[in-house]
Amino acid sequence: MVETNPVVEGIHTRWKQWIAAGAVALLAFALLGGLTVYRHDSFRSHALDLGYLDQVAWNTTHGEPFASTVKTGTLSSYFAGHFSPVIAVAGALFWFWDDTRAILLLQAGLLVLSGLPIYALFRDYGKWLAVTVLLAFYLNPWLHRANLQDFHTMLLATPLISLAVLSVLRQRYPLAVLSLLGTLLIKEDMGLVLALFGLYLLVFVRGRAWPWGLVLLVVGPAWLVAVTLLVIPSFAPNGEYRILTHRYAFLGGGPAEAIQTLFRDPLILAKQVFRQEKVLALVQLLASMGFLPLLGGGLVLVALPLIWYLQLSDDRALAVLWQWHAATYLPVFFGAIYGGFRRLPARGRYIAAGVLILASIVAFFLDGSALRLLREPGMAPERREIARSLMAQIPPEASVSAQDELLPHLSHRREIYLFPTIEDADYILMDRLGSTYPLETEDYEVFWQAAQDPFGYEKLYDDNDLILLRRQEP
């Protein structure tokens, strides 16, 4: 009888478990990556934010760091609105594959990667339970909504937050702090995430975690204040952090007015968050996870304030969680579920895992983001080919004014404008059947009629509701 080495046997067992998780992750990447590329290829991605961020990333690696013309019509810094140096890393992909789809697949891949620390956590409760939880994570409709809303730098923080959740619950505090510090280079408001994790370590963990909690509690808010009040305003033409006045106008016109408002009405934040449609949106998010995060004690008190921060916004789409932001914090909710599982007996955990996967499946089909994309064809296939052939006629160094859904296919150039902004564009590309944003349809028709006899431009193509114009030589 041949004796087996228990160490070798343990390694083999772990590898088998990770092979199962890897297979699920690969299937998830095929789904998320395939859907986002299909959406882009069928001309359903948009100037804001895919075309905009794609140009920022491309310009960063082509001599114009963090510059774009999409929003302002002139080369201006992305840092005037957000502080996301990580976009340079995304732009580096274009050295290997000079295609907008590269950053879409990067985003999809990082969202999928975010599930693996969650799987590693739940392996404590059994391999198949962990695989079930991983499937539930990948089916969560908020993950799919985010994946199908163009490209957003904030989502690149999701795997780092997921790694931080794993590290905190495994008591690997230096790795948790390092992961969270990395998020500061992704989005300015990640400082809030650090502060909440810091409070969690100080209040719920204590012991040897408190020095690390203190670091996060100090660094997070300090970074948030420095970037929003000093760094971003230094790039902004009006010298202010516009997001503060745009999303949170109910607080006033700036930090000083916000403090005064809070003193006058201490309950104003609660009034803003606990409105019926916002509460319903949070209930729907929790329902997609079978309400299991509510069993999680301390970590749910990290997750909920992150959602309430979004819901404070005057922007309704953000406040009712239609946009991509909530997906970034999904790993924190799943970390709370892990904490709740600790309180359950073994049989109860399997029942809870069944509730979780069932809730995720129901929510996935009720939301219908992925299925709706497959049902709606986007631009007709024959028109797609024509549009691509017209784009191929535009030299890569030429400046272009293009409509909303055409712009992301032309954004790898120094200067591109969202129609009707034209500036000194060498070419103009219009699609009468496509999105006319930011114009209303009736206003767009005025421009379409003007394009029939364009002043200063020659018409290269006018058929199939597509027009390509080229600036005439003086």
How far from each other are the two terminal CA atoms of the chain, in whole angstroms?
91
**CB neighbour list of residue 41: distance below 8 Å, 6 or more residues apart:** 101, 384
Per-residue pLDDT tens for 308-336?
A: 999 999 889 999 999 999 999 999 999 99
For the cut 90, the answer to whether the pLDDT of residue 111 exceeds it is yes
Helix (H) or strand (E) holding 402: strand 400-402
Cα three-residue angle 395-401-405, rounded to 5 degrees: 100
Amino acid at 231: V
Note the pLDDT tens digit of each residue in 123-168.
Answer: 999 989 999 999 999 999 999 999 999 999 999 999 999 999 999 9
- pLDDT, tens digit (0-9, with 9 covering 90-100), for 42-71: 999 999 989 999 999 999 999 999 999 999
Percentage with pLDDT > 90 across the chain: 82
- Average pLDDT on 73-100 reads 94
- What is the pLDDT averaged over residues 223-250? 88
Q: Residue 1: its pLDDT value, please?
A: 46
Tell me the C-alpha to C-alpha distance, in Å, between residue 246 and each of 325, 338, 376, 451. 17, 37, 33, 35
pLDDT at residue 4, rounded to an integer? 53
Q: Which of 13-27, 201-215, 318-332, 371-385 is least confident?
A: 13-27
Mean pLDDT of the chain: 93
